Amino acid sequence: MLPYATAAEAEAALGRAMTPAEALWFSYSAAMPDYFLFWHNILFLLVVFTLAPLPVALLELRTPAAVAPYKLQPQVRLSPSEFFRCYKEVMRIFFVVIGPLQLVSYPIVKMVGIHTGLPLPSLGEMAAQLLVYFLIEDYLNYWIHRLLHAEWGYEKIHRIHHEFTAPIGFAAPYAHWAEVLVLGIPSFVGPAIAPCHMITFWLWIVLRQMEAIETHSG
């Protein structure tokens, strides 16, 4: 929640007029508690998990011959029921693990310094932070992934993620609940090291999931 009752108070605190983006942010978030703003992540993740894989999935289901030359495993074709089974399991994990995790993690987000106030970050600041987040996440994810491919980790946890041997975008978060929790850590380390504005955090969450969906699209 912003500590200003009016736009005039916000501009007085800034010492300048708000930009159009800041005015829009003020009108949306001024009276909204910070934890409600953070919980927007749940909606964003639901939308991304549902819509981002959909265009490629529809192409593969409706025009398999047209997309076959671009597939890594063109001889493998999944049925609509297999696509739906994958999505249904992802949604189960979403509502059982990912959603509740978002609901209870707000105190940590607040503690590390992710904020909602004014001024908004510049595009350059957001780009620099996102670059750091991607580098940190990629490095940590690589090593955790390697550990999960060790005998115990694979047999007990990671094998579920490989049930779809010809992956599809919907299968990006298709995994054991423990893997979902563990691999969520690298995504949060960057923002914890270099805290950002909530808008940057939203963008990071969305871009990270879209990256995962793209790399699993096949």
Closest residue by Cα to residue 187 from 168, 206, 174: 206
Which of the two residues, 166 and 55, has the higher pLDDT score? 55
Task: Kindly indicate the confidence band of residue 155, based on its pLDDT and cuts at 50, 70 and 90.
Answer: very high
**Mean pLDDT (the chain, rounded):** 94
Give a yes or no: residue 57 inside a domain.
yes
Please report, rounded to a whole number, the percentage of residues in the chain having pLDDT higher than 90.
Answer: 86
Give a yes or no: residue 10 inside a domain.
no
Q: Per-residue pLDDT for 1 more than 80?
A: no
- Counting the structural domains of the chain, the total is 1
Q: Which residue has 């997309």 as its token pair? A: 67
Give a yes or no: residue 112 inside a domain.
yes
Residue range of the domain that includes 166: 33-215
Give a yes or no: residue 13 inside a domain.
no
SS3 (DSSP) at 79: coil
pLDDT (tens digit per residue) in 37-81: 999 999 999 999 999 999 999 999 999 888 889 998 888 888 999
Give a yes or no: residue 140 inside a domain.
yes
Strand partners, 197: 115
**The amino acid at 206:** V
Spell 189-215 as b/e; 16+ CB within 10 A means b: ebbeebbbbbbbbbbbbbebbeebbee
Give a yes or no: residue 3 inside a domain.
no
What number is the average pLDDT over the span 146-161? Answer: 96
**The amino acid at 112:** V
